[in-house]
Structure 1
Amino acid sequence: MSQEKPTIVNCPQCGIPVVWGDVSPFRPFCSKKCQLIDLGEWADEEKRIAGAPDMSDSDGWSEDN
């Protein structure tokens, strides 16, 4: 029998190698601390997913004709 090599990823917060499996409950993070730091950055809108810009009245768009 051949044992498969575990998948290793770097923690997106601190860069420490993390085994992608049941032995790492906070994957892809190395710890609860890194997980919470990342969550806080999303909550503070320091991180965001790029998308289309908002259409607002300042862009010359209006529901009124």
Structure 2
Amino acid sequence: MKCPICGKPAAERYRPFCSRRCADVDLAHWLRGDYRIPAEPVPDNDGEA
């Protein structure tokens, strides 16, 4: 298995990543919202019965 960030072989300890650095880079992508799926906003239907 290759690291999804840099392509090096994955390390058992950090699987699926090769190092803590690549795991932290991936976490930063999640925290910034880089992996979000674009979608239309849901209309607010407050007050409807």
Q: TM-score, normalised by structure 2?
A: 0.75
C-alpha distance in 1 between matches for 2:5 and 2:34: 13
CA RMSD of superposed structures (Å): 2.0
Residue 15 of structure 2: aligned partner: 27
Q: TM-score, normalised by structure 1?
A: 0.59
Which protein has the larger Cα radius of gyration, Structure 1 or Structure 2? Answer: 1
Q: How big is each residue's C-alpha offset from its partner over 1:4-42, in whole Å with a ceiling of 9 and x where there is no partner?
A: xxxxx01010111225xxxx2001100000000000000
Q: Which runs of 4+ in 1 moved over 6 A?
A: none
Identity within the alignment, %: 36
- Give the structure with the higher percent helix: 2
- Give the structure with the higher percent strand: 1
Instruction: Work out the number of aligned pairs and report it.
Output: 47
Structure 1 unaligned residues grouped into runs of 5+: 1-8
Residue 7 of structure 2: aligned partner: 15
